[in-house]
Chains A and B, each alone.
Chain A
Amino acid sequence: MARITLDVNGSAHTIDADPDMPLLYALRNDLGLNNPHFGCGLAQCGACTVHIDGQAVRSCITPVSAVGNGKVVTLAGLGTPEKPHPIQAAYVEEEVPQCGYCINGWIMTAAALLNRVKKPTDAQIKDALTGLKCRCGTHMSILRAVKRAAEMMG
């Protein structure tokens, strides 16, 4: 066990945890942030995705001890109904999710792309999102939402 301090959604949290424990369980159980989901534990689906220093990272395979001083942002920290990130607003506008269990992967990965690349091409969007999984098959509306968000971000 180790004492670990995490910077999550702008606040510092200190927890006692197995240093090898993936960040996902620290976020979900120690910090009570339910939004990153367990999908595979293998970094194959993206349901657990968070930002660490602006990069989309799979929290299910990231040891909590490896986060260090990195600033962690979860979907709940990305935006609020009053102050949404454009990709969140676009997700609502396009009514993207069915079950929604996968949305951390798509939204956090798309947000990292849009923060990095202005007006990405269709190919850049697909390249950034490849490998993420959506079992309900909302692919069409995911792509519509990312394009809409890109337009909103000018």
Chain B
Amino acid sequence: MTKMDKASAFSRRAVLKAGGAVVVSVGMPIALDTVLGIDAALAQGARPPVTPDQLSSYIAVNANGSVSAFFGKQDLAQGLYTAIGQIVAEELDVPFKSVTVIMGNTATSVNQGGASGSTGIQMGGKQMRMAAAEARRVLVEMAAGKLGVPADKLKVTDGVVSDGSKSVSYAELIGGQYFNVQLQWNKEVGNTLYAPGKAQPKKPSEYKIVGQPLRREDIAPKVYCQQDYVTDVKVPGMLHGRVIRPPVAGATPATIDEGSIKSIPGVRVVRDKDLVGVVADNEWNAIKAAQALKVEWSAATPAFLDNAAATYDHIRKAPVRHRMVEKENGNVDEAFRSAARVIEAEYEWPFQSHASMGPGCGVVQVKNGEATVWTGSPKPHYCRDGVAAILNLPPEKVEAHSLAGSGAYGRNDAGDACMEAAVLSRAVGAPVRVQYMRAQGTGWDPKGPASIHRARAAVDASDKIFAYEFVSKGFSRIDVNSNESKPWDQLAGHLLGVSLKSGDGFGTPAESYEFDNKRLSWETIAPLLDRASPLRTSHLRDPVGPQIHFASESFVDEVAAALNVDPVEFRLRHVKDARDIALIKAAAEKAGWQPRPSPRHDQTGAKVSGRGIAYSQRGGTRVAIVAEVDIDRTTGKIWARKFTVAHDCGLIINPRGLTQTIEGNVIQGISRTLWEEVAFDRRNVTSVDWLTYPILDITETPERVDVVLLNHPEIAPSGAGEPSIRPMAAAIANAIFDATGVRLRRVPFSPDRVKAALS
């Protein structure tokens, strides 16, 4: 038994209609007593429909008393399986080991939004808690009837209901059968789906399993090669597909010289409108053919800018497409007119790439008006919807199996690969596995948006800040949506002629600074290319959070320095939320923060050090980070040497998993701050591999990351997957300022740029 059955090898539809199973080489040790039993039940029509209003859609007790939890979100390998297992086991009063979380398959779970917005525990876990609590309530009522004892006299221990003398187990009550219990569904699908029953969940003071640092069970299968990834799926008759991208973004295929690959055996060229690909029974032949195929492309006007550095002037000058004031109090414009002095600054953040370790990969079988998808998408239900849309099939005719993919931190290219595999499969009448090449993964995945941020503070004659304004202007976070369910949000959709419906979204700083007059707003601009663009922008870990808070928390530091106030002291003066205050104090105390204004003036020589703090909120979670960095002035090289992270996400489900999740955020945050920038020229993106899109190397690892977890059992858990990457860039920038007196206002802080700034 394992906590992490992702891939049922058996398709509900295949079982129902073909009387057999699709044979897939997914090697996860499937818990046959649960999954097979459930599929058999489905085949017999014994399971109620998998709809959000049914308890059976979330919880089942198997014949042996073990519990299956069907979860419609997705663990992007930060331990969510474990946390959900803890929550379910806690509410049901069963051992943690007896719970199996079955995640992401469209046939066995409802759409709870997939991996999205750090809501796995916050919203997905909330629903699983309520479902498990309801299951316990129903089981205790059943036991009361069976034992002839009032329900309030019964206790449950390890799945056995007892009054002290008589007892009955969950397995005896319902094992192997599904609940037939209606929930109060709020009629929403995705992250906001909520369907409680009549039960009240436990009080946090009663928790025995929630809050424990239980270990992950999904590690060993990876280390011992017992778990297959989506890249490893093999379906009988499966062909290998590769797609061809144009040298100039926006160009379309004019002519294809199929003779150019005639020496490569077993290859077919597929063209469906502007989507060009090859399929072959041998993967290496598909790769060779994709490289060798001669395609004449239409003359396309290069749509991009001279280089990435030109991004910021473009943003400054570009017409505002949408403007949103998210927070305003007082009269900001009038206040600035009466200021004794105004402090202002502008910050810049580049396009960044998901650059997943493995380029996007998906397997799709289109057959007889139905489709089966094997996907590593963070949002398998939406991926199912997207494949259905691109194939013009009803969603119920498409089933998506969710398997481990290479890491995704928002919307990467995993879904796009499935859509293109679907088009190729439809064309050749066989299952097709598409895997992108590295250049396509980095070059053509959805990007995090580039932006500029302007901040200003009005200061009166007594050095009081009485007005603050912060405006972001940039490309939209939803130029293509964060899920791939609509054809206009997919590369394949654009290539088949569907027009982009570019959405408008950005954000504002999340903090509790109070000023008499304050305005936070954002503005979006149009994309550089409105179809099949390698610079289409979407969600990359903590969408627009790192850029906004790089700017806002750098600016707070600039104001503190201008007023000659210690950066921690300055924040504590203006932050009004009690949890924020406790958090900032906790970070400073753990880091051994010595109060003084920045910058320090006591260092000479090439190598200097500094410390900086930044803090932010995100969806209820708060993070404060102290960075300590070393800088070599002669090379411009920065070593982000030590971090102290104070983290408050309400109730902590698993402190061990949380700590490692924070560590991952810190490392990725350093990487995005010091190294990451998508390069391009007028024709196309030129960041196409790890040399042209460098990330943080192991030799640059901090020597220490201290994590202070502030647990609030009385406060419902909020997210942790992303909040701690949010203040990273500002913490580092503020430490660099402390060390050097130089303020870096453009990310990344690559050595050449730092050296130039310091000279």
Contact = CB atoms under 8 A, between A and B. Distances in A.
A34 B229 contact: yes
Pairs of residues from A and B, 4 with the lowest C-beta to C-beta distance, nearest first: A137-B667, A99-B407, A100-B222, A101-B406
B89 to A, nearest CB: 19
B219 A42 contact: no
B220 interface: yes
A104 to B, nearest CB: 9
B223 A103 contact: yes
A139 B358 contact: no
Nearest to A137: B667
A107 B219 CA distance: 13
B578 interface: no
Interface stretch (A49-57, A65-73, A113-121, A126-134): A126-134
Given A42-B689, A126-B701, A133-B695, A99 B404 contact: yes
B665 interface: yes
B358 A126 contact: no
Contacts of B666: 137, 140
B542 to A, nearest CB: 13
A92 B219 contact: yes
Contacts of B220: 81, 92
B690 A133 contact: yes
Contacts of B219: 91-92, 95-97, 100
A8 interface: no
A130 B698 contact: yes
Contacts of B284: 17-18, 21-22, 25
Nearest to A132: B698
Interface string A1-24: 000000000000000011001100
A143 B698 contact: yes
Interface string B388-412: 0000000000000000111110000
A62 interface: no
Contact of A139 (B77, B215, B404, B698): B698
B78 interface: yes
A130 B665 contact: no
B660 interface: yes
Contacts of B225: 34-35, 74-76
Nearest to B691: A44
Contacts of A143: 698, 701
A39 B702 CA distance: 25
B422 interface: no
Contact of A100 (B77, B355, B656, B698): B77
Contacts of A102: 357
Given A39-B438, A95-B215, A101-B406, A133 B357 contact: yes
Given A34-B27, A42-B438, A140-B667, A95 B216 contact: yes
A93 B356 CA distance: 25
B697 A131 contact: yes
A131 B283 CA distance: 27
Contact of A44 (B404, B689, B699): B689
Interface in B199-233: 215-216, 219-220, 222-225, 227-229, 231-232
A97 B27 CA distance: 19
B437 interface: yes
A136 B216 CA distance: 16
A72 B100 CA distance: 36
A135 B407 contact: yes
A44 B687 CA distance: 14
Nearest to B233: A34
Contacts of B27: 34
Contacts of A37: 229, 231, 357-358, 406
B292 to A, nearest CB: 13
A135 B283 contact: no
Contact of B663 (A32, A41, A132, A140): A140
Given A21-B284, A95-B215, A40 B664 contact: no
A129 B241 CA distance: 33
B438 A98 contact: no
Nearest to B656: A95
Given A97-B77, A130-B698, A39 B357 contact: yes
Contacts of B227: 100
Contacts of A129: 698
Contact of B405 (A18, A75, A99): A99
A16 B408 CA distance: 36
A91 B660 CA distance: 13
A54 B75 CA distance: 35
A41 B435 CA distance: 12
Interface string B228-255: 1101101000000000000000000000
B76 A99 contact: yes
Contacts of A101: 229, 356-358, 405-407
A80 B435 CA distance: 29
Contacts of A59: none
A132 B698 CA distance: 8
Contact of B223 (A91, A136, A140): A91
A45 B219 CA distance: 21
28 contacts: A22-B284, A25-B283, A34-B231, A35-B225, A37-B229, A37-B357, A37-B358, A38-B435, A39-B406, A41-B438, A42-B690, A81-B224, A91-B219, A92-B223, A95-B660, A98-B407, A98-B664, A99-B405, A100-B223, A101-B357, A129-B698, A135-B355, A135-B695, A137-B663, A138-B664, A139-B698, A139-B701, A140-B702
B575 interface: no
A130 B699 contact: yes
B25 interface: yes
A76 B667 CA distance: 28
A14 B701 CA distance: 43
A142 interface: yes
Interface in B567-584: none
A119 to B, nearest CB: 19
B684 interface: no
Given A44-B690, A133-B357, A135-B356, A99 B406 contact: yes
A45 B326 CA distance: 42
Given A42-B438, A97-B77, A137-B666, A47 B223 contact: no
B392 to A, nearest CB: 31
B705 interface: yes
Task: Give the residue among A22, A75, A129, A136 with the most B Cβ atoms within 10 A.
Answer: A136
A11 to B, nearest CB: 16
Interface string A80-94: 110010001001100
A47 to B, nearest CB: 6
A61 to B, nearest CB: 12
A110 B653 CA distance: 33
A11 B318 CA distance: 63
Nearest to B436: A38
Contacts of B285: 18
A103 B357 CA distance: 11
A17 B357 CA distance: 27
B696 interface: yes
B167 interface: no
Nearest to A140: B663
B137 to A, nearest CB: 34
B671 interface: yes
Nearest to B354: A135
B286 to A, nearest CB: 10
A83 B668 CA distance: 33
A137 B223 contact: no
Contact of A98 (B76, B215, B282, B358): B76
Interface in B159-203: none
Contact of A40 (B656, B690, B705): B690
A112 to B, nearest CB: 15
Contacts of A138: 660, 663-664, 667
Interface string B667-698: 11001000000000000000001110001111
Contacts of A97: 77, 219, 222-223
Contacts of A41: 287, 437-438
A151 to B, nearest CB: 18
Contact of B357 (A47, A84, A130): A47
